[in-house]
Amino acid sequence: LLPRTEGPAVPGSTAAVVLSPPVEGSTAAQRLLVQAIAGARERLYIANAYFVPHSGLVSLLAEAARRGVDVQILTNGPRSDVRTTWLAGRSHYEPLLESGVRIYEYQPSTLHAKTFVVDGAWSAVTTINLDNRSLAYNDEVAFLSLDPAFGARIYSVFLADLAYAEEIRLEIFRRRPWSQRLLEYGAGLLSRLL
């Protein structure tokens, strides 16, 4: 993390920029996401364009929900500009929904937001997607803020976007056609490439 060194200090706020180039082992982007999920105590709101989490992130998100964290994820819906990524992401929904994670799919068009708010205390606006390409291979950057007012603003945008999203309900999701399941399964096999 880089300390804020320019501009006037805002009382009670702290900001940093995290750069995440591709490296051997875990990237700064991976560590940032793991810390955000593991550190959440009450609320974790994630808006992410290409939500194709690997099994470790699925486990962390499910564990957070099981320990009582209100985990809500807003991602692309069927009008995503990368249909394979949307299908691959859906292959991970069931264990998340079973654990209590709430998932919403944005309906009108492609969603490109990449934000999260943790406990209303700290938040991030990033270029990081929850997919393998972003976490392992891409140069990424995140602006972090430990400022409740900024977190409240990011949360208000998240809520505004939810008005255009459809919540995925476990009981309905389980009744989707087998043809849809097959497409999701096939796309899920490509997750490491997405």
pLDDT in tens, 154-171: 999 999 999 999 999 999
**3-state DSSP: the chain helix, strand, coil percent, rounded to 5?**
40, 25, 35
Identify the weakest region by mean pLDDT among 52-66, 102-116, 135-149.
135-149
- Left (φ > 0), alpha (ψ -120 to 50) or beta: where does 12 sit? left
State residue 30 phi and psi, 5-degree precision: -60, -45
pTM value? 0.87
Question: Can you tell me the distance from the alpha carbon of 117 to that of 73, in angstroms, rounded to the nearest whole number?
Answer: 11
Q: What is the mean pLDDT of residues 5-28?
A: 69
Residue-wise burial string across 106-136, b where 16 or more C-beta atoms lie within 10 A, e elsewhere = beeeebebbbbbbbebbbbbbbbbbbbbbbb
State how far Cα 52 lies from the chain centre.
9
pLDDT band at 13 (very low <50, low <70, confident <90, very high): low
Angle (CA) 34 94 55, round 5°: 35
